[in-house]
Amino acid sequence: MPVLPGAEPYRHEGGEVGVLLCHGFTGSPQSMRPWAEHLAARGLTVSLPLLPGHGTRWEDLAITGWQDWYAEVDRAFEELSERCSQVFVCGLSMGGALALRLAARHGDKVAGLVLVNPGNKVHGAAAHALPVARHLVRTIPGIASDIAKEGSVEVAYDRVPLHAAHQLRNFFRLVDRELPQVTQPLVVLHSPQDHVVPPADSARVLGRVSSRDVTEILLEQSYHVATLDHDADRIFEESVAFIDRLADGADDGSGTGTDTGVEGTASGG
C-alpha cells in the first residue's frame, strides 16, 4: 500500500549524538518532520520511523497491535545506538508512551526524553466498552489535526479503528505500570488546551516517573499536535537546549550530513 504524501519516514546522518522521534496514534512522521529537520540542521543524527499500520489507510492500522508499533521504535533505537555514542528519544502523544517504554526497558542507553502531550490513558466511558465494542463497530471518527494554527494540517487518518484503539488502551496501561522504571532526564511539554489528550496525562507521567532531572513546560498557544502549531519553534529550541546540556560530545552544529525521505510535503501546512 503506497504511503500517503508527506507521511514518509525520515533519516539524517549527522554526528555522534542521535535522536529518535516517535509519532502519534493514527498520525505519521509528517507531524514530527519539522522537528526532525530542525535537529538535523544542528548536526544531530536523526531517525523518524513510520509506525506499522500508519501513513497508508486506516484499514492497515486495524490489523496491527501495540507490539508492532513498539517493535518498530525499538528497532530504530537499536540502530541509532549502534551508530551513535548517545541517543535521545522524543515523542508526541502515543509517541510519548513509546518513548517512555524505551526508557523503562533500555535504561541508561536512553540519554534523555522530550515528550509533547504524552498519552497515558484512553479516557471516557467508551474506553471501558472497547473490548466488546470493537467487535460490533469497526471505526469511529478520527482525532487528527487538533491544531490552533490556521492552515496547519496533520497527515493522519480520518477514522480510528476500534481494534487499534483497544490495542492503544492496553499499551497505555502497560506503560503506566512501567513509569517508575523511568529514571532519565525528562522534559514534558504539554498544552492546557488539548482536545485529544488531557493535561491529566502529562501530570500522571510527571507524578509516576523516577526521574530527578525533570522540566515541565506549558504550550499556551497550541492544541494537541503542538509540533505543527504556534509553539513548534519553542519545542524545537527547548529540545536542542536539553540535548546540548546533556550531550557528552555535542556536535558542532554544522548541519552537515545526508537526509533520506521525501522533501517538501512534510511541513504540515
For the question of residue 123 being annotated catalytic, the response is no
β-pairing verdict for 159-161 and 139-141: antiparallel
Choosing from 31, 93, 191, 211, the catalytic residue is 93
Q: What angle do CA 248, 77, 204 make, to 5 degrees?
A: 85
Choosing from 12, 28, 194, 231, the catalytic residue is 194
94 known ligand binder: yes
Question: Could you tell me what percentage of the chain is helix, strand and coil, using 3-state DSSP and rounding each to the nearest 5?
Answer: 40, 15, 45
32 known ligand binder: no
Find the helix packing angle between 125-133 and 162-178, rounded to 10°.
120
The rounded distance, in Å, linking the Cα atoms of 265 and 154 is: 11
Coil vs helix vs strand at 7: coil
The rounded distance, in Å, linking the Cα atoms of 74 and 154 is: 24
For the question of residue 47 being annotated catalytic, the response is no
For the question of residue 194 being annotated catalytic, the response is yes
Choosing from 224, 230, 231, 251, the catalytic residue is 224
What is the CB neighbour count within 10 angstroms for residue 140?
Answer: 13
H/E run at residue 34: helix 33-41
The secondary structure of 92-158 as a DSSP string is ETHHHHHHHHHHHHHGGGEEEEEEES------SHHHHHHHHHTTT--EEE-------STT------S
94, amino acid identity: M
Binding-site residues for substrate, in ranges, read: 25, 94
Residues classed as catalytic: 93, 194, 224
Binding-site residues, in ranges, read: 25, 94
